[in-house]
Chains A and B, each alone.
Chain A
């Protein structure tokens, strides 16, 4: 049984009709359906946001522009900058919220934080979120049941299995919502995989549950939705120094780590090498998911890379702030260093906050710029894999048509959505608030659920023996450690060079009150 993240070579022969030997028609292909479903969800989100826009929108836009000019004026007249700026920024925030209606947000939720009573996870502001969770379940059930029927599966069998997979995903969110677990960054991805593994390695995954373990489809649809959050105009959020720290160091570390894995460590699996390299150098879980889908990695390889990333993130988010403070490298350089090296945004912000508010802002912004890189990385890896890696395994030089055939088409949906929403975001405040309505109001929640369902499915389809085999010589761990060491060194050197030698005024500006 092939366990690669590959739609043409599906892992689950109980579900995929093409395994019978017949080639599926285009409308049954997962890539096409994932793109269609992702774009449909974005269109529905945009439609509901447009219909619900406030009637006084032109007036709000004028007030926003006025606040923006006042902010620019304050920059020239630096007398009472700090307090006045805070007030105007607050006004801008209120205006943006008014211009960004999110009618679907309260219907697409996930369990929240709790301390000792897990029932607290199902309440928000002392109100039950159970109706929202039921609505979320129904929306996902309807969408995926339709896809299952289009692909020739039994809708009722899929629905039964989906109830089970959704219940495990819900439990993973509840485990991740316990306040200690949450504040030490042990994300839902870890619990989703572990719960799935627990079931598959004790009682075995029952057939009725297997009907809804659609890892590839959940991941690909989730990635198309993630495209809405990869906004290229955020690239210059911190000017040129931010680009150098996030977009120059990261590819160098990624390529160096991959080459080190191939030629020095001689990693037995190229896809495992690539997923660990991308996950460690770019931005953890989301980069691992995007790269794994682009290079058709095994499910176990993806979950192993995520596990490594989560463990090291917990360590780094505690240790790095102490190093920054003890070494006296300062909030700007320290923030840029942590932003460029700690894997997830939440952990970066938490580590930055331990140093200071400027460090937190710089660290989170560098991480945001680095997040945008996953669109380019996923596309680049998909092209490289289809053009060089897979052909080298067969020993034949591929034609353009063969490369196109091998190319994971969903990455085009991911990149297309990303470019379209980046363009929309650049259309002034109206475009920006529409993107905010789409992402914060709908697609982000759906994407989180899809990734969680995918991680549960990975666990349900995996075996502990596979992990034992991959970890046998400790190569994945050595690869991660060596790559992260290079990342730490290069990111520090670049942050120091940019903010103390090349752009010292940028650092002074960031530190000014």
Chain B
């Protein structure tokens, strides 16, 4: 029972730290010029950096279409020969 209460206190403290980091520190970090630039670049290019699989990436359809157009325009360069 005593260790359960101790665990609860630890959990509460860590949750407070998480809230502080996410709601105070990280917003400040996101305003740093280099970080801001990176975020804006990704947004402009339609990139979701947390995409795990290719289908999770919102810009993938356009990338595929763009590459496909280039491969189709010169299949012999890519050795696809309309497979």
Q: Are A118 and B23 in contact (CB under 8 A)?
A: yes
Q: Are A284 and B52 in contact (CB under 8 A)?
A: yes
Q: Are A240 and B52 in contact (CB under 8 A)?
A: no
Q: Please, which residues of chain B bring their CB within 8 A of the CB of A346?
A: 47-52, 56-57
Q: Please, which residues of chain B bring their CB within 8 A of the CB of A75?
A: 69, 72-74
Within 8 A of A (CB), among B25-67: 26-27, 29-30, 35, 38-39, 41-42, 45, 47-57, 59-67
Mark each residue of chain A from 29 to 47: 1 if its CB lies under 8 Å from any CB of chain B, else 0. Answer: 0000000000000000000
Q: Are A71 and B69 in contact (CB under 8 A)?
A: yes
Mark each residue of chain A from 340 to 367: 1 if its CB lies under 8 Å from any CB of chain B, else 0. Answer: 0000111101100110010011101101
Which bracket fits the contact residues of A?
A: 35 or more
Interchain CA distance A313-B53 in the complex, whole Å:
14
Within 8 A of B (CB), among A111-138: 115-118
Q: Say yes or no: A92-B67 contact (C-beta < 8 A), given A346-B47, A368-B54.
A: no
Q: Are B80 and A239 in contact (CB under 8 A)?
A: yes
Q: Please, which residues of chain A bring their CB within 8 A of the CB of B20?
A: none
How many residue pairs link A and B with beta carbons under 8 A? The number is 189
Q: Please, which residues of chain B bring their CB within 8 A of the CB of A204?
A: 4, 7
Q: Say yes or no: A353-B45 contact (C-beta < 8 A), given A115-B27, A180-B26.
A: yes
Q: Say yes or no: A202-B10 contact (C-beta < 8 A), given A346-B57, A353-B45.
A: yes
Q: Whole-angstrom distance from the CB of A439 to the nearest CB of chain B?
A: 6
B14 at the interface (CB under 8 A from A): yes
B16 at the interface (CB under 8 A from A): no
Q: Whole-angstrom distance from the CB of B77 to the nearest CB of chain A?
A: 4
CB < 8 Å: which of A181, A241, A364, A509 contacts B73?
A: A509
* Secondary structure class of chain B's binding surface, majority of residues: helix
Interchain CA distance A347-B55 in the complex, whole Å:
13
Q: Are B47 and A203 in contact (CB under 8 A)?
A: no
CB < 8 Å: which of A202, A284, A509 contacts B7?
A: A202
Q: Are A364 and B80 in contact (CB under 8 A)?
A: no
Q: Whole-angstrom distance from the CB of A232 to the nearest CB of chain B?
A: 12
CB < 8 Å: which of A115, A286, A505 contacts B53?
A: A286
CB < 8 Å: which of B7, B49, B64, B66 contacts A203?
A: B7
Q: Say yes or no: A85-B69 contact (C-beta < 8 A), given A93-B62, A350-B42.
A: yes
Q: Are A92 and B65 in contact (CB under 8 A)?
A: yes
A176 at the interface (CB under 8 A from B): yes
Residue of A96, A185, A202, A285 contacting most chain B CB atoms (<10 Å): A202
Q: Please, which residues of chain B bring their CB within 8 A of the CB of A354?
A: 41
Q: Are B18 and A175 in contact (CB under 8 A)?
A: yes
A338 at the interface (CB under 8 A from B): no
Beyond contacts A183-B39, A240-B79, A365-B67: 6 other A-B pairs, Cβ-Cβ < 8 A, are A89-B62, A187-B50, A284-B52, A345-B52, A345-B57, A364-B63
| 17 pairs from A and B in contact (CB 8 Å cutoff) | A74-B73, A89-B62, A93-B65, A116-B23, A178-B30, A181-B22, A198-B14, A203-B7, A237-B68, A240-B80, A241-B79, A286-B53, A344-B50, A350-B49, A367-B54, A506-B78, A509-B71
A-B pairs with the 6 shortest C-beta distances? Answer: A239-B78, A75-B73, A346-B51, A116-B27, A505-B77, A240-B79
